[in-house]
Amino acid sequence: MKGKITILLTVLLGSILLNSCRKDFEDINTDPDDFVTANSGSLLNGITGSLRSGVNERFYVHIEVLYKQSQLGTLTKEAWSTYTLGTKEMWKNYYGTLPNFRELERRFDALPPSAEVTNMRAIVKILLAYTTFKVTDLFGDIPFSEAGYGFISSENLHPIFDTQESIYLYILDELKWCEENIDPSATEDPYKTFAVFENIFNGDLAKWKMFANSLRMRHAMRIVNKNPDLAAEIIGDIMNNNKPLIGELEVDSANIDYSCVALWPYKLNYFQGWWEFYEHKNVRMGSNLWHQFSENDNTDGSGIFDPRVYYFFETNNDNEWAAFPQIVPTGTAPDEGAPYGSQRNFDASFAIKGDGCVYSPFNYFLVSDGYNSPNILISGAEVHFLKAEAYLRGIGVAQNEAMAQTEFENGIKLSLDFWKFTAEHLKLSQGGYFSSKITVPSNLDFDSVNDKMGFSNVSSTDDKLKLIYTQRWIDMFRQIDQAFALCRRTMKTPREGSPLEYFRLPIPDIEKDNNLQNYESAYSAQGDFSTTKVWWME
C-alpha cells in the first residue's frame, strides 16, 4: 500500500495511549496456540467494544456538530462549542485499539495456515475496515499503515499520515479478499474457540460475508465522484454476481442480524446510557426532518404520513408536535423543560417533560433505553437504497429505473419494519414499554409514506435520486456520522437555509502535540479546517 497511516501511540512508557497499546500483550512471545485462550480473546472483545461511540463523542460531536450539520436534528441553544473533547476521545479510542488489531494479525501469521485461520483473519480485517472508514471519513488523511505498532518498537511511535485515497484503495481491496476467502464450512479450532469471543454474529460466517460486501458497496458508492471506474467495478461485481448483502430478509427477532449489523447492548451485556441528552437538554426535532414526515405543521399531527416520526421524536409538554425552526428567527427563545430527565423513567411520571418544553424532543425511549436501542453499523435499508442509486444512475449495472424503484421501495419497507421492531422493544428502566406510552396511528405504514415520497410523485431522474437520498438520510437517524457523509457526498439531502459548509473534523491537538512533523507534512498544504473537503468530495 502506497501511503502510510497514522496515530499517535505516543509517549513510550507511561502515556495513556501506550498503556492501552500494551494492554493484553503480556503473552506476546508465547506459543501461537495460546491465541485460543481468554487472554487473546480479550483482544477481540476490546475491538468490539471500541466500535461503540463514547459519551464525549456523542455529546460534543454528534449533538453539537453532526446533528446540526446534517439537519437530522437541531439545537435550540449551542451551549458547548468544545467539540475537541469529542474528537480527542474518538482519536484515543481508535488508536488505543489499533494495537489489538496489529497483535491479532501477528498471531495469525504465527499460526499454521488453514481455512479456519483465514476466517479469523477476515473477521478482524472487516472490523478494521469499518472502524478505519469511520475515522478517515470524519477526519480525512490519518495515520494508518504505520500506526498501531508502537508496542513493538519506539520507531513506530510517530507514524506518517496516509492519504484518504490510499486508505480507501487498500481497505476496499482487503474487503474483497475477505469476501472471496471466508469459508463458512471451516469452523474447527482454532476458529471454534475464536467464535466464542466473536459476539457480533456469534461466529456466523455467512453474515460476515454479507457485512464485507455491504461495506464494499457503501464505500464504493462514497468514492463514485472521485473514482467512478473503481466504484462501478466494485458495485457491478457485487450486484451482477448476486453476492450476499445485509437486508435480504424481513425483520424479525430470528433474523435481525440479516437485516441490520448492529451492536445490541442487551446481547453484549453493556449499558449505553443517555448522559449526552440528559446533560445537553437542547437538542430537538428540526423543521427540516419534520417536513419529511408531515405534509403540514398541524400540531395535532393530522398531517403526519410517516410513522418514524413517532419512533424518533415525541410531542412537547402540551402533547403537540412542534418543530424548532432550522432557520432561527431573531428573538427565538431556546427551549427548556426536562424532556430527557431521569424522572421520566418511572411509569407514573413519564409524561412530565417540564413546562418549558415547547418543541418536540427526541424520543425518550430511543435515547434512554441503553439495553435495547442499537448501535447501528449498517442497515439493510441502506443497502437497498445503495442498490436503488446504482440502478437509477447505471453505476456498475445497466440503468434500470424500474429496478431502482423496486429497491427504493424495499428500502422504505425495511426501514419502517426495523424501526417499528426497535421501538416495540424499547422500555423504561423502571417499567413501561414504548407501546404502552406511545400510540402510532394504524394508518401510517408503507403506503402512506410511498404515497407522499414515492417515485410516482416526481418525473425527473434527479428528483428521484433526491428521494433515494432523502429516505437513506432518514433511515440513518441514529447513524449520524453516515448521514453526515451522505450529505457531504451528494449535497442533495433535504436542507433548509444555507448550503452545507462544514466538511470534516480537524485533527485533535493530541496528535499535533505528539506527531507534529508528520501532521504538518500532511496538512501544511491543504489546511486542517472544518471547511477543508475530504478526498472523496467533489
Who wins on pLDDT, 79 or 66? Answer: 66
pLDDT per residue over 425-460, tens digit each?
A: 999 998 889 999 999 999 999 999 999 999 999 999
Who wins on pLDDT, 256 or 486? Answer: 486
The residues with which 313 forms a beta bridge, in sequence order, are 362
What's the pLDDT at 27? 35
pLDDT per residue over 144-160, tens digit each?
A: 999 999 887 777 889 99
Neighbours of 180 (CB within 10 A): 11
Reduce the DSSP state of residue 230 to 3 states and report it.
helix
Reduce the DSSP state of residue 75 to 3 states and report it.
strand
Asked if 365 contacts 431 with a C-beta cutoff of 8 angstroms, the reply is no
Q: Identify the band that residue 331 occupies on the pLDDT scale cut at 50, 70 and 90.
A: confident
Is 39 a residue whose pLDDT tops 50?
Answer: yes
CA 421 to chain centre: 19
Q: Identify the band that residue 37 occupies on the pLDDT scale cut at 50, 70 and 90.
A: low
Residues 481 and 412: their CA atoms lie apart, in Å, by 20
pLDDT per residue over 490-501, tens digit each?
A: 999 999 999 999
Who wins on pLDDT, 348 or 141? Answer: 141
Is 3 a residue whose pLDDT tops 90?
Answer: no
Q: Residue 62 is placed in which grid cell?
A: 454528534
Residues 66 and 53: their CA atoms lie apart, in Å, by 13
Q: Is the dihedral of CA 489, 494, 499, 504 positive or negative?
A: negative
Say if 331 falls within a structural domain. Answer: no
Is 92 a residue whose pLDDT tops 50?
Answer: yes
Say if 111 falls within a structural domain. Answer: yes
How many angstroms separate the Cα of 372 from the Cα of each of 250, 270, 302, 377?
A: 19, 10, 30, 15
Q: Identify the band that residue 35 occupies on the pLDDT scale cut at 50, 70 and 90.
A: low
Mean pLDDT of 341-361: 93
Average pLDDT, the chain: 91
Residues 178 and 207: their CA atoms lie apart, in Å, by 12
Beta-strand pair 375-379/283-284: unpaired
Look-up: residue for cell 421501495?
Answer: 409
Say if 292 falls within a structural domain. Answer: no
Cα torsion at 397, 399, 403, 409 (round to 10°)? 100
Say if 155 falls within a structural domain. Answer: yes
Mean pLDDT of 51-57: 95
User: At 261, which helix (H) or strand (E)?
Assistant: strand 260-263
**Closest of 521, 369, 454 to residue 6, by C-alpha:** 521
Look-up: residue for cell 426535532?
Answer: 285
Say if 219 falls within a structural domain. Answer: yes
User: At 102, which helix (H) or strand (E)?
Assistant: helix 84-110
Say if 105 falls within a structural domain. Answer: yes
Is 42 a residue whose pLDDT tops 50?
Answer: yes
Q: Identify the band that residue 14 occupies on the pLDDT scale cut at 50, 70 and 90.
A: very low
Is 17 a residue whose pLDDT tops 90?
Answer: no
Question: pTM, whole model, 2 decimals?
Answer: 0.92
Say if 267 falls within a structural domain. Answer: no
**Closest of 463, 320, 373, 167 to residue 337, by C-alpha:** 320
Q: Identify the band that residue 4 occupies on the pLDDT scale cut at 50, 70 and 90.
A: very low
Percent of the chain predicted with pLDDT > 90:
83
pLDDT per residue over 217-271, tens digit each?
A: 999 999 999 999 999 999 999 999 999 999 987 788 778 888 899 999 998 999 9
Asked if 312 contacts 360 with a C-beta cutoff of 8 angstroms, the reply is no
> From the CA atom positions of the chain, what is the Rg in Å?
23
How many domains does the chain fold into?
A: 1
What's the pLDDT at 43? 93
Asked if 285 contacts 324 with a C-beta cutoff of 8 angstroms, the reply is yes
The residues with which 99 forms a beta bridge, in sequence order, are none
Buried/exposed 343-353: b ≥16 CB within 10 Å, e otherwise: ebbeeeebebb
Residues 75 and 89: their CA atoms lie apart, in Å, by 22
Percent of the chain predicted with pLDDT > 70:
92
Q: What is the CATH number of the domain that holds 18?
A: 1.25.40.390
What's the pLDDT at 15? 39
Is 466 a residue whose pLDDT tops 50?
Answer: yes
Residues 270 and 348: their CA atoms lie apart, in Å, by 27
pLDDT per residue over 401-418, tens digit each?
A: 999 999 999 999 999 999
Is 309 a residue whose pLDDT tops 50?
Answer: yes
Residues 23 and 64: their CA atoms lie apart, in Å, by 32
Is 11 a residue whose pLDDT tops 70?
Answer: no
Mean pLDDT of 130-139: 98
Say if 421 falls within a structural domain. Answer: no
What's the pLDDT at 26? 34
Residues 344 and 278: their CA atoms lie apart, in Å, by 11
- The domain of 21 spans 1-243+503-538
